[in-house]
Amino acid sequence: MKKYQLGEFEEIVLLTIGVLFNEAYGVSIKNEIQTRLSRTVSMGALHTALVRLEDKGYIKTFDGEATEERMGRPKKYFQITALGKKAMAYSKATRDELWNAIPKVVFKLEPLAGR
Protein backbone atom coordinates (compact mmCIF):
# COMPACT_ATOMS: atom_id res chain seq x y z
CA MET A 1 0.00 0.00 0.00
CA LYS A 2 1.21 3.49 -0.84
CA LYS A 3 2.36 5.76 1.94
CA TYR A 4 0.46 8.73 0.50
CA GLN A 5 -2.06 8.43 -2.28
CA LEU A 6 -2.15 11.51 -4.46
CA GLY A 7 -3.43 11.45 -8.04
CA GLU A 8 -2.08 13.82 -10.67
CA PHE A 9 -5.05 16.22 -10.59
CA GLU A 10 -5.21 16.04 -6.80
CA GLU A 11 -1.54 17.03 -6.71
CA ILE A 12 -2.21 19.98 -9.03
CA VAL A 13 -5.11 21.11 -6.83
CA LEU A 14 -3.05 20.74 -3.66
CA LEU A 15 -0.14 22.69 -5.16
CA THR A 16 -2.53 25.40 -6.35
CA ILE A 17 -4.01 25.73 -2.86
CA GLY A 18 -0.45 26.32 -1.68
CA VAL A 19 0.16 28.92 -4.38
CA LEU A 20 -3.02 30.80 -3.47
CA PHE A 21 -2.40 30.44 0.27
CA ASN A 22 -5.18 32.35 2.08
CA GLU A 23 -7.08 33.09 -1.14
CA ALA A 24 -7.76 29.45 -2.10
CA TYR A 25 -11.47 29.00 -2.75
CA GLY A 26 -13.23 27.11 -5.55
CA VAL A 27 -13.27 29.71 -8.32
CA SER A 28 -9.78 31.05 -7.53
CA ILE A 29 -8.34 27.51 -7.60
CA LYS A 30 -10.06 26.78 -10.93
CA ASN A 31 -8.86 30.04 -12.48
CA GLU A 32 -5.29 29.60 -11.22
CA ILE A 33 -5.02 26.08 -12.68
CA GLN A 34 -6.47 27.21 -16.00
CA THR A 35 -4.14 30.23 -16.18
CA ARG A 36 -0.93 28.50 -15.10
CA LEU A 37 -1.42 25.20 -16.93
CA SER A 38 -3.61 26.23 -19.88
CA ARG A 39 -5.86 23.38 -18.83
CA THR A 40 -9.65 23.50 -18.78
CA VAL A 41 -11.07 22.56 -15.38
CA SER A 42 -14.73 21.89 -14.68
CA MET A 43 -16.14 22.86 -11.30
CA GLY A 44 -17.43 19.28 -10.94
CA ALA A 45 -13.95 17.77 -11.35
CA LEU A 46 -12.48 20.36 -9.01
CA HIS A 47 -15.17 19.74 -6.38
CA THR A 48 -14.57 15.97 -6.58
CA ALA A 49 -10.82 16.45 -6.08
CA LEU A 50 -11.38 18.83 -3.16
CA VAL A 51 -13.71 16.35 -1.44
CA ARG A 52 -11.17 13.52 -1.94
CA LEU A 53 -8.34 15.66 -0.56
CA GLU A 54 -10.43 16.61 2.46
CA ASP A 55 -11.46 12.97 3.03
CA LYS A 56 -7.76 11.99 2.99
CA GLY A 57 -7.01 14.69 5.56
CA TYR A 58 -4.76 16.66 3.19
CA ILE A 59 -6.84 19.85 3.29
CA LYS A 60 -9.33 21.50 5.60
CA THR A 61 -11.91 24.20 4.99
CA PHE A 62 -12.83 27.41 6.70
CA ASP A 63 -15.50 29.99 5.98
CA GLY A 64 -14.72 33.53 4.94
CA GLU A 65 -16.87 36.58 5.44
CA ALA A 66 -20.46 36.53 4.23
CA THR A 67 -20.96 39.01 1.39
CA GLU A 68 -23.96 40.66 -0.26
CA GLU A 69 -22.84 39.53 -3.71
CA ARG A 70 -23.04 35.94 -2.44
CA MET A 71 -26.47 36.61 -0.86
CA GLY A 72 -25.06 36.39 2.65
CA ARG A 73 -23.23 33.11 2.12
CA PRO A 74 -19.55 32.95 3.03
CA LYS A 75 -16.87 31.71 0.62
CA LYS A 76 -15.44 28.30 1.51
CA TYR A 77 -11.64 28.52 1.68
CA PHE A 78 -9.18 25.62 1.60
CA GLN A 79 -5.96 25.19 3.57
CA ILE A 80 -3.29 22.49 3.43
CA THR A 81 -2.99 20.41 6.61
CA ALA A 82 0.23 19.05 8.13
CA LEU A 83 -0.61 15.65 6.59
CA GLY A 84 -1.17 17.36 3.23
CA LYS A 85 2.26 18.99 3.47
CA LYS A 86 3.81 15.57 4.14
CA ALA A 87 1.98 14.12 1.12
CA MET A 88 3.26 16.98 -1.04
CA ALA A 89 6.85 16.49 0.16
CA TYR A 90 6.60 12.74 -0.43
CA SER A 91 5.23 13.28 -3.94
CA LYS A 92 7.98 15.78 -4.80
CA ALA A 93 10.73 13.55 -3.40
CA THR A 94 9.41 10.55 -5.33
CA ARG A 95 9.23 12.49 -8.60
CA ASP A 96 12.67 14.05 -8.05
CA GLU A 97 14.13 10.59 -7.39
CA LEU A 98 12.68 9.27 -10.64
CA TRP A 99 13.80 12.31 -12.66
CA ASN A 100 17.31 12.05 -11.25
CA ALA A 101 17.48 8.35 -12.13
CA ILE A 102 16.89 8.95 -15.85
CA PRO A 103 20.17 8.60 -17.76
CA LYS A 104 21.19 11.86 -19.46
CA VAL A 105 21.36 10.06 -22.80
CA VAL A 106 17.57 9.73 -22.75
CA PHE A 107 17.26 13.50 -23.23
CA LYS A 108 19.71 13.71 -26.14
CA LEU A 109 18.13 14.24 -29.54
CA GLU A 110 20.53 12.16 -31.63
CA PRO A 111 19.69 8.47 -32.10
CA LEU A 112 21.57 5.82 -30.14
CA ALA A 113 24.49 4.18 -32.03
CA GLY A 114 23.76 0.80 -33.54
CA ARG A 115 19.99 1.17 -33.68
The answer to whether the beta carbons of residues 18 and 80 sit under 8 Å apart is yes
pTM equals: 0.84
Give the domain range for residue 47. Answer: 8-107
Phi, psi at residue 59, to the nearest 5°? -135, 160
We report the CATH number of the domain holding residue 87 as 1.10.10.10
Overall domain count for the chain: 1
Answer yes or no: is 115 within a domain. Answer: no
Identify any residues that bridge with 62 across adjacent strands, giving them in sequence order.
77
Answer yes or no: is 30 within a domain. Answer: yes
Per-residue pLDDT tens digits for 29-45: 999 999 999 999 999 99
Answer yes or no: is 3 within a domain. Answer: no
% of the chain with per-residue pLDDT over 70: 92
